[in-house]
Amino acid sequence: MKSPALLLLLLLLSISALGAQVADSMFQAADQSLLVLPTAYTMPKGSSTFTDYEIFIVQYAYGLTGRTHLSIAMPFPIVPEAFEYSALGIKQNYLRYGKLQAAAALSWLPKAEGLSLLNVFSYGTQKSSLHALVGITSDYEKVNNGTFLALGGLVNVSQRVAFISELMTYSEVMDEEGGQILTLGVRIKGDKMSWDLGGFRPFTGDAGDLLLIPLIKMTVLF
């Protein structure tokens, strides 16, 4: 019960700060991703982001150039062993043509001996955008490969609020069954801090009366 209360307190404090931020920035906190899926967009050279998923997973990303991101993600380091499960990543934006952008990304999980490679196309503006992604995941120890496809979209309903949706489908990966996942959410955004409030619903197995599993994400740009 302490974690939801802490998240709510942080959310209320940050919402009050959002209104004081400048509104005409070309790149805002969390533009590099939707709820879960990455976009083709990259932050300015020398910028950094810190992202916290549900407190349990944290990620740091750095803009090596205006087109290249380096990142590391891991479980929240409450024990030293958490660092062993880090995921190292790089995203390279290789196309900018009008409203269309494209990027390739590679993630490596040394402890799990896994790799993922994806390509994402993003089309749109800051007011609305559509994103299409295709990727492969490999467990190189067991020679077990999987594929996934995804579509996502973001639509601004005001200067500071946007609706986000994602639909992912994936084949068998890492000895797990494939399936589909739908995510829906709202982004409360500022130039330096954004909050994503939403949820996801798997379409595999018996979900019963389940509507959405809650998802909360905070991103800080600095």
What pLDDT, on a 0 to 100 scale, did the predictor assign at position 25? 45
**Higher model confidence: residue 7 or residue 207?**
207
What DSSP state is assigned to residue 37? S
Where does the pLDDT of residue 80 fall: very low under 50, low under 70, confident under 90, or very high at 90 and above? confident
- The tokens for 222 are 């600095």
Spatial separation of the C-alpha atoms in residues 186 and 129, rounded to whole Å: 14
Say whether 83 sits in a helix, a strand or coil: helix
| Distance set, CA 120 to CA 79, 133, 183, 188 (Å) | 34, 4, 18, 24
Instruction: Please measure the distance between the N-terminal and C-terminal CA atoms of the chain and give it in whole angstroms.
Output: 30
Task: Please say whether the dihedral angle defined by the alpha carbons of residues 31, 52, 220 and 183, taken in this order, is positive or negative.
Answer: positive
Task: Report domain extents, the chain.
Answer: 2-221
Burial 105-132 (b: 16+ CB within 10 A, else e): bebbbeeeebebebebbbbbebeebebb
What pLDDT, on a 0 to 100 scale, did the predictor assign at position 64? 96
Spatial separation of the C-alpha atoms in residues 22 and 171, rounded to whole Å: 43
Residue of 97, 110, 112, 122 whose CA lies nearest to 38: 122
Q: Does pLDDT of 86 surpass 90?
A: no
For residue 79, the tally of other CB atoms under 10 A from its CB is 9
Domain 2-221 in CATH: superfamily?
monomeric porin ompg (2.40.160.40)
Q: pLDDT of 179-204, one tens digit each?
A: 788 899 999 988 889 999 999 888 76
Residue of 88, 134, 92 whose CA lies nearest to 114: 88
Paired residues of 198 in beta bridges: 185, 215
What pLDDT, on a 0 to 100 scale, did the predictor assign at position 77? 73
What pLDDT, on a 0 to 100 scale, did the predictor assign at position 176? 56
For a pLDDT cut of 70, what percent of the chain falls above it?
A: 78
Burial 58-73 (b: 16+ CB within 10 A, else e): bbebebeeebbbebeb
